[in-house]
Chains A and B, each alone.
Chain A
Amino acid sequence: MELLKLAWRNLWRNRKRSLIAAASVFFGVILSVFLTSMQEGSFHNMVDNMVKFTTGYAQIQQKDFHDNRSINNSFKVSAVLDSLLNTQSEITVYTQRIESFALASSGENSYGVSVIGINPGVEEQISGFSKWVNQGAYLKSGEPGILIGESLANNLKIELGDTLALLGQGYHGVQVAGLFPVSGILKFPVMEMNRGIVYMDLNRARDFYDLPNGLTTLVIMAKGPEDIQQITSSVKRKLPEELEFYTWEDLQPQLVQLIDGKRSSAKIFKGILFMVIGFGMFGTVIMMMAERIRELGVMIAIGMRRIRLILILFTESLLIGFLGVLFGFIFSYPFIVYLSRNPINLTGNIEETINQMGFEPILEFSNNLSIFLHPAITIFMLTLIISVFPVVRIGNLKIINALGA
């Protein structure tokens, strides 16, 4: 009598109860799968948007630049590095930046600002940078114009077409200065960015800081955060010693923290969810045993080893869990796959708000395998834990008492 057959028939004995127990697992799995898929999808979207506008998915810097953002800690892209990056299929694009500081003055007012030299074409391709230009035009390669934030323009009392003087420290500490026509005013959703950043063409920045062919930051883009590990492992150890590789997680610890926090609270919710399901399954197992205690006694009396009996009871709860998980997957998988390929476009007020923050107004879903794996493992673990009860109960069962039950 194959274990499975006996277990299966025992489940059919009280169809309704087994069904209810399996259904609770089913709904738990579905809830967990959709919740996690949506959450991981939104993290994906959030990370993708954040890194596009700021650090990129990864960066290569001269190894001292992280602690001392001086123009002296710059480097040049060697032919070797260039070909290393070009051979990584996970890297969709990479671009060079110069990031440093300067004193911006106009008339009597001066403010310390961050100066960022970018490749206008590539940055536009990465993040659609030009959408932040509120007045005037976006940067063009080889042209002298600069972009400044709205608040900075107000503070300096300058307008489109006016000239801004920048005073900075170039390579080897040389004092550098230059006059730059303001060709565009930027309006970012984050106020601080409007106050203190000046963007210019990369080559203009090189001239200004006296850093021909140099850069401080090499920004690497990928399709998504899932590719970063691969890129890291193939690029990081091949870098020359004076360079350092950073992932977006190194560069954006606050974002990592935010995501971790949200993951933890979701875990608590899912923990409670599965605990409730676990208690339901536990109750079912207790009842399944209680009403069969005499039968279990008979089986031992006529010569069945207790361990086999325990195995049957374990198989019964395993089947309940398995059926719940299986149907949970069958039901949710097509939806998750569809949604992960066709994100929901948000509309109305939400769309506007998210657009203003510079994020894509979509609800993304993840179809990562772990979304399905985790609830399955959790249910399996629960089954194991619950089975401690039959182990103890059968182990201590007095045949005579059971027969008299």
Chain B
Amino acid sequence: MSIISIRNLTKIYDGSSVEVTAVNGVNLDFEKGEFAAIVGPSGSGKTTLLNMLGGLDRPTSGEVIIDGQNIWDLSSSKLTEFRLNKIGFVFQSYNLIPVLTAGENTEFIMHLQGKSREERNKRTKELLDEVGIGDRIKSRPNKLSGGQQQRVAVARALASKPTFILADEPTANLDSKSTENLLDIMEKLNKEENVTFIFSTHDARVVNKARRVITLVDGQVDTDVTK
């Protein structure tokens, strides 16, 4: 039984002059524990697909069913709650909250979930240790390198114990060493803790690590290869 089912998902942008079909009738299923890359040329619809999958951008038609729930049937506030509890986000430009420390950024999500202080503190330490920056727990984002920030972002995405983690080009802003480092961490989490990762990328090294590669062309699934 798949944790995510995408059915006939379509997104049409009403441009000022022409309509753009960014995603065109996509059908995909993801199982628990997948480590899947979405690739494709620029403009092929990767970001649009991930945004609809993440409950951030409303599809023109089609369904996104996560844990048996069509998320686009939910009210706006229920959808927010759904994102909080079921989906972890990693963004290309890290997007940590600048006034919070690495620890607080990680804790933030659990705070929104109403977790107890002890649980928050314990898990924050564990997660930051796991991504290898336990010693920077008290640092604000502007004191961290891009790679370190993105590792905090991964810790933050994991903190809520989500069903899966979505990452739109998580390594695009990183140098090759940081990219490798981040990928190792993601792979380790995937293997050891069975965390489901779905990410888009342009980076061949990232594609190589993926166990499943979905190629989009013109908003449609061109190939879907599981190694």
Q: Hey, which bits of chain A sit against chain B, CB under 8 A?
A: 1, 6, 9-10, 12-13, 294-295, 298-306, 308, 399-400, 403
With A1-B104, A399-B57, A403-B56 already in contact, the answer to whether A300 and B80 are too (CB < 8 A) is yes
Q: Which of A295, A303, A304, A399 is most buried by chain B, counting CB atoms within 10 A of its CB?
A: A303
Q: Which of A12, A304, A400 contacts B80 (CB 8 A)?
A: A304
Contacts of B108 in A (CB 8 A): 1, 302
Instruction: Indicate whether A301 sits within 8 Å of B89 (C-beta atoms), given known contacts A1-B108, A295-B95, A403-B56.
Output: yes
Contact in complex: B77, A9 (CB < 8 Å): no
Contact call A403/B91, Cβ cutoff below 8 A: yes
The 3 closest A-B pairs by CB, nearest first: A303-B84, A9-B99, A298-B95
Q: Report yes or no: A303 in contact with B112, Cβ–Cβ below 8 A.
A: yes
Contact of B107 among A1, A10, A300 (CB under 8 A): A1
Beta-carbon nearest neighbor of A1 in chain B? B111
Determine whether the beta carbon of B80 is less than 8 Å from that of A305. yes
Residues of A within 8 A of B57 (CB): 399-400
Task: State whether A295 touches B89 (Cβ < 8 A).
Answer: no
Question: CB distance A13 to B80 under 8 Å?
Answer: no
Additional A-B contacts beyond A303-B81, A304-B80 (16; CB < 8 A): A1-B100, A1-B104, A1-B107, A1-B108, A6-B100, A9-B100, A13-B99, A298-B91, A301-B56, A302-B83, A302-B84, A302-B109, A302-B156, A303-B83, A305-B80, A399-B57
**Alpha-carbon gap, A6 to B99, bound state (A):** 7
Nearest opposing residue in chain B for A400, CB measure: B57
Complex: chain A residue closest to B51, CB-CB: A400
- Picked from A303, A306, A403, the residue with its CB within 8 Å of the CB of B160 is A303
The prevalent SS among residues of A at the interface is: helix
Bound complex: CA A305 to CA B98 (Å):
19
In the complex, A351→B145 CA distance in Å? 72
Interface on B for A, CB 8 Å cutoff? 51, 54, 56-57, 77, 80-81, 83-85, 89, 91, 95, 97-100, 104, 107-109, 111-113, 156, 160
B-side contacts of A9, CB under 8 Å? 99-100
Distance of A306 from chain B, by nearest CB (Å):
7
A295–B95 alpha-carbon span in the complex (Å): 7
Contact among A294, A303, A306 for B109, CB-based, below 8 A: A303
- Report B-chain residues with C-beta under 8 Å of the C-beta of A306: 80
How near does chain B come to A43, taking the closest CB pair, in angstroms? Answer: 48
- With A and B bound together, what is the CA distance between A304 and B89 in angstroms? 13
- What residue in chain A is nearest B156 (Cβ atoms)? A302
- Chain B residues whose C-beta falls within 8 Å of the C-beta of A300 in the assembled complex: 80
Tell whether A303 pairs with B99 under 8 Å between CB atoms, given A399-B56, A400-B51, A403-B56: no
Given known A298-B91, A302-B89, contact A10–B99 (CB-CB < 8 A): yes
The distance in angstroms between the C-alpha atoms of A312 and B135, with both chains bound, is 29
Q: Tell me the complex Cα distance, A301–B57, Å.
A: 10
Name the B residues within 8 Å of A303 (CB-CB).
80-81, 83-85, 109, 112-113, 160
Max chain A C-beta neighbours (<10 A), residue from B98, B99, B107, B156: B99
B146 to chain A, nearest CB (A): 16
Report 8 cross-chain contacts, Cβ distance below 8 Å, ordered by A residue.
A1-B111, A9-B99, A10-B99, A303-B83, A303-B85, A304-B84, A305-B81, A400-B51
Closest to B83 in A: A303
Q: How far is the CA of A10 from the CA of B108 in the complex (A)?
A: 15
**With the chains together, A400 CA to B84 CA distance in Å?**
17
The distance in angstroms between the C-alpha atoms of A299 and B112, with both chains bound, is 10
Q: Are B97 and A298 in contact (CB under 8 A)?
A: yes
Are B97's CB and A299's CB within 8 A? Answer: yes
Task: Quote the shortest CB–CB distance from B165 to chain A (angstroms).
Answer: 11
Q: Which residues of A contact B85 (CB under 8 A)?
A: 303
How far is B80's CA from A298's CA once the two chains are assembled, in angstroms? 12
Could you say which residues of chain A place their CB within 8 Å of the CB of B104? 1
CA distance A298 to B84 in the complex (A): 12
Residues of B within 8 A of A295 (CB): 95, 97-98
* Residues of B contacting A298 in the complex (Cβ-Cβ under 8 angstroms): 91, 95, 97
Chain A residues contacting B160 (CB-CB under 8 Å) are 303
For A403, the chain B residues whose CB sits under 8 A away are 56, 91, 95
Docked CA distance A13–B142 (Å): 12
Asked if B80 and A294 sit within 8 Å, CB to CB, the answer is no
Question: Which residues of the other chain, A, contact B99 by a CB distance below 8 angstroms?
Answer: 6, 9-10, 12-13
Nearest chain-B residue to A308 (Cβ)?
Answer: B112
Question: Chain B: which residue is nearest A12 at the CB level?
Answer: B99
Q: How far is the CA of A399 from the CA of B47 in the complex (A)?
A: 13
Query: How many angstroms between the C-alpha atoms of A305 and B80 in the bound complex?
Result: 6
Closest to A7 in B: B99
Contacts of A299 in B (CB 8 A): 97
Which residue of chain B is the closest to A303 with respect to CB atoms? Answer: B84
Known: A13-B98, A400-B56. A301 touches B111 (CB 8 A): no
List the A residue with the shortest CB-CB distance to B162.
Answer: A303
Residues from chain A with a CB closer than 8 A to the CB of B100 are 1, 6, 9
> Which of A9, A10, A301, A305 has the largest number of chain B CB atoms within 10 A?
A301
Q: Find out whether the CB atom of B77 lies under 8 angstroms from the CB atom of A305.
A: yes
Closest to B56 in A: A399
Instruction: Tell me which residues across on chain A come within 8 A of B107, comparing CB atoms.
Output: 1
Alpha-carbon gap, A400 to B51, bound state (A):
8
- Please, which residues of chain B bring their CB within 8 A of the CB of A12? 99
B110 to chain A, nearest CB (A): 10
The chain B residue with its CB closest to the CB of A298 is B95
Alpha-carbon distance between A375 and B77 when the two chains are bound, in angstroms? 37
CA distance A308 to B95 in the complex (A): 19
CB distance from B210 to the nearest CB of A (A): 24
Nearest CB of chain A from residue B81's CB, rounded to whole Å:
7
B175 to chain A, nearest CB (A): 23
Q: In the bound complex, how far is the Cα of B55 from the Cα of A400, in angstroms?
A: 10
Chain A residue with the shortest CB-CB distance to B111: A1
Chain A residue at smallest Cβ distance from B93: A294
